[in-house]
Amino acid sequence: MELLRSNLSRVRIPEPTNRIYKHECCVSFETPRSEGGLFVDMTTFLAFGKDYVGWNYEKTGNPVYLHIKQTRKVVPEDRPSKKPTLLAIGVEGGFDNNEPQYEETHNIVILPDYVTFPFPSVELPEKVRLTVDAIIMAEGAERKEQLAAWTADKKHVSAYAMNLPQIGNDVIVPPSGWKCAKCDKKDNLWLNLTDGMMLCGRKNFDGTGGNNHAIEHYKETSYPLAVKLGTITADLEAAELTMGTYCGSSDVFSYPEDDSVVDPLLAQHLAFFGIDFSALQKTEMTTAERELDQNTNFDWNRIQESGQDSELIHGPGYTGLANLGNSCYMAATMQVVFSTRSFNSRYYINQSLKTAFEMAPADPTVDLNMQLTKLAHGMLSGKYSVPALEKDAEENAPISTTIKQEGIPPRMFKAVIAASHPEFSSMRQQDALEFFLHFLDQVERVNGGSSALDPSRSFKFGIEERILCPSGKVGFNKRLDYILSLNIPLHEATNKEELEAFHKLKAEKISEGKDVSSDEIVRPRVPLAACLASYSAPEEIQDYYSTAMKAKTTALKTAGLTSFPDYLVLHMRKFVLEEGWVPKKLDVYIDVPDTIDISYMRSKGLQPGEELLPDGVPEAEVESSNPVANEDIVAQLVSMGFNHLHCQKAAINTSNAGVEEAMNWLLAHMDDPDIDAPISQGAHGNEVDQSKVDTLLSFGFQEEIARKALKASGGDIEKATDWIFNNPDASVSSDMDTSTSSSKPTSDDTELPDGGGRYRLFGIVSHMGTSTHCGHYVAHVRKDGRWVIFNDNKVAASVNPPKDMGYLYFFERLDS
């Protein structure tokens, strides 16, 4: 005990703002249920597995740790059923997920000799007891971040709550025995707060949930608010309202606002229907809880290669990633990325966990290099790629093997990679392409642009656009990119006859009032070669300003690659905008061969005998870019005795807002050292109204693209939006360099990997759903001579890889 007392100065009682990690090691995927348990540093509150806690002691000198170990409880009925009930209405406590229960033990351990003291114990110093109690009682940082992401969109007070009409039709809602007024549903029930109708909620995408009667009632009546029965807890609600805060434990939904909201008068609205607010007990999940539960536990096996008798695979390189809730876009992408030599070498073969930990800052959970190394070792070592076993609690012996491995949860990696991106830090489904580009951008930043370390360079290549104007002179636009985004030319379908026959059949069935069966549907089949040819084909540019002709004309644009990367990623533009900006997913198959040769797509640059277009910009643009002062404002200021040049500057710098604004600026800047300098021509030509940029950002566009579009469209938001959609190549580039009117490659271009144009397909990220922001993503990777499906935590030999259904195709270069 004296040893412990001598180290009390290294023990810190956690404060409410401290993040406490106690569910997962920060450098591995060890948990309290692992063989060695988990060690929580009682100074920093970081957690470490048994094999890694010594590294932390060596690095920090912190000697005192709380050891947490969870062992499965010995309960006679502790054999989970084959189909566990995730939500049990009426079960004491409200939930019964039938999962095995674990018993948690705690000890105080002092390094380096692992001297152990049992906890609880009255002999322990009070400071130690208080610290351990605080750690045990605290919500772990891992779980805290997950819940925070789900409830990131804070509830607001409904605009309809304060003046909500309630119809006095003597409706009395009983305290129990609830049932939908239009069907037999007894759970997922919503009480309309205007007329007291009890109706079932929406039907989920998997067929569960309600029958949409509540929302149908709103469409018929326009009664705006409904509360989910069973989600109100009187003590929580009263406490929150009394303290002036509201965490939203009850589930109130506003149909016109299409969101979960706060109803400050909920008790009053419920009392109208005879509901005793104080007698209500929480028996149902809130929407956030249900959504978290469904997204975390949904069995994605029914979506991709379901029913196939596929061989499950375990071992190094075959580790699944647990779904964190709508995280399949990330899991699918990372499985393919870490199948490349560049990322495998950088974060696994050539970098040990210990090296990454020693290089990491004080908190390794926020270091991308550390978390990428942790993820790489977790996925590639095979340590966690083992069959999940169900054990008999009494005999502690394996009794069966589940259909798939548990997989590793990439929580810390997701938290770090998404820290600078509001969408990826949420629990909503995202576009795998956008995540891939964001991921590579972050990897490039963290490696400081070092070509020796940066594995993202293996995906980067140069693109050169060649513009030929009628004068015979040429211009070049260059940029760097990570992906080749391809349009799908439906007119190049190879099964046109079958399509025509199908459309005739479909028309006949519709005229007869019949539906076309799934077996009868025929989809266009477009060769990948046609998509690549479409990218390289000459394209007319209308109203192109030729600096040689000093006039607008029609030019021809062709595009080619200045370098061939180690790994070529092809993005299929399956999502298009129809008239009225209605998004649509093309229902099409892409015939993708195992190998392709894109040698013909290499850009040739300036050819002998060709002449470059002279530098310059349209005269109209030059004129419009020059700042112009409002002469009325200038005249009024001059009449007051101010210098004419100074007055012009005042008007320009206040955007000609008015005489008062210009005078205020003038009085504040009269002593500026450059006040008498001539007005710089074009000084304001590149400025963009930030409010307009913010408007485009709210549409989901990148800031760089938004600014570029506003500059190209004279600050008109509508024209800028059109420009973005008409220049899709710009919208998918991430921090790419651009140069114009030069055939010389940029400095970065010369340092990129390059080789021949022959490639072999090795990875596919496929998407199922009507939008990139919903549905499901699955990865197929060619490993050890066979195709493997990575469907979250399911890893199996692929029976039928969807080569014709990919959203992203990954190719590796065959020759150098």
Active site residue 26: no
Active site residue 25: no
For residues 359 and 242, membership in a common domain is answered with no
CA angle 715, 719, 721 (to 5 degrees): 100
For residues 333 and 448, membership in a common domain is answered with yes
Give pLDDT tens digits for 331-380.
999 999 999 999 999 999 999 999 999 999 999 999 999 999 999 999 99
648 domain residue, yes or no: yes
Average pLDDT in the 615-621 region?
Answer: 60
535 domain residue, yes or no: yes
Burial class (CB in 10 A: 0-12, 13-18, 19+), 599: exposed
For residues 437 and 376, membership in a common domain is answered with yes
Least Cα distance to 222 among 180, 250, 176, 256 occurs for 256
Q: Is the pLDDT of residue 393 over 60?
A: no
For residues 327 and 448, membership in a common domain is answered with yes
> Any known ligand binding at 774?
no
More confident residue, 305 or 477: 477
514 dihedral zone (left: phi>0; alpha: psi -120 to 50; beta): beta
| pLDDT at position 740 | 33
Q: What is the CATH number of the domain that holds 200?
A: 3.30.40.10
For residues 197 and 267, membership in a common domain is answered with yes
Give pLDDT tens digits for 751-778.
789 999 999 999 999 988 766 667 789 9
Average pLDDT in the 189-194 region?
Answer: 90
For residues 554 and 647, membership in a common domain is answered with no
Q: Identify which of 259-268, 363-372, 628-637, 668-677 has the greatest average pLDDT.
A: 363-372
For residues 764 and 697, membership in a common domain is answered with no
> Any known ligand binding at 180?
yes
719 domain residue, yes or no: yes
Structure tokens at 597: 């040769």
For residues 227 and 330, membership in a common domain is answered with no
> Any known ligand binding at 200?
yes
For residues 445 and 494, membership in a common domain is answered with no
Burial class (CB in 10 A: 0-12, 13-18, 19+), 690: exposed
Catalytic residue among 269, 646, 776, 780: 776
Q: What is the CATH number of the domain that holds 655?
A: 1.10.8.10
Catalytic residue among 328, 469, 531, 647: 328
Q: Is the pLDDT of residue 594 over 90?
A: yes
Half-sphere exposure at residue 702, Cβ-oriented, CA atoms within 13 angstroms: 17
Structure tokens at 371: 């978390």
Between the two ends of the chain, the Cα-to-Cα distance in Å is 66
| pLDDT at position 282 | 47
Q: Is the pLDDT of residue 569 over 60?
A: yes
Query: Look-up: residue for tokens 């499901």?
Result: 776
468 domain residue, yes or no: yes
Q: What is the CATH number of the domain that holds 695?
A: 1.10.8
**Last residue within a domain, chosen from 248, 265, 294:** 294
Average pLDDT in the 12-18 region?
Answer: 89
444 domain residue, yes or no: yes
| pLDDT at position 699 | 61
Give pLDDT tens digits for 669-718.
887 888 888 776 544 444 566 667 766 665 656 777 777 777 665 566 76
Q: What is the CA radius of gyration of the chain?
A: 32
Q: Per-residue DSSP letters for 31-43?
A: -TTSTT-EEEETT
560 domain residue, yes or no: yes
**Last residue within a domain, chosen from 701, 726, 751:** 726
Average pLDDT in the 256-271 region?
Answer: 85
- Contacts of residue 57, defined as CB under 8 A and 6 or more positions apart, other chains included, come to 63, 111, 112
Average pLDDT along the chain: 80
Average pLDDT in the 662-675 region?
Answer: 82
| pLDDT at position 148 | 56
Confidence of residue 246 (pLDDT cuts 50, 70, 90): very low
Average pLDDT in the 63-89 region?
Answer: 63
80 domain residue, yes or no: no
- Give the domain extent around 274: 189-294
Least Cα distance to 749 among 610, 605, 615 occurs for 605
Give pLDDT tens digits for 492-526.
999 999 999 998 998 888 888 887 777 788 889 99
For residues 327 and 342, membership in a common domain is answered with yes
In this prediction, what percent of the chain has a pLDDT beyond 70?
Answer: 74
Q: Is the pLDDT of residue 570 over 50?
A: yes
Number of domains in the chain: 6
Average pLDDT in the 60-85 region?
Answer: 72
443 domain residue, yes or no: yes
| pLDDT at position 288 | 44
For residues 307 and 285, membership in a common domain is answered with no
For residues 440 and 533, membership in a common domain is answered with no
Give pLDDT tens digits for 101-158.
889 999 999 999 999 999 999 999 999 999 999 999 888 776 666 555 555 445 678 8
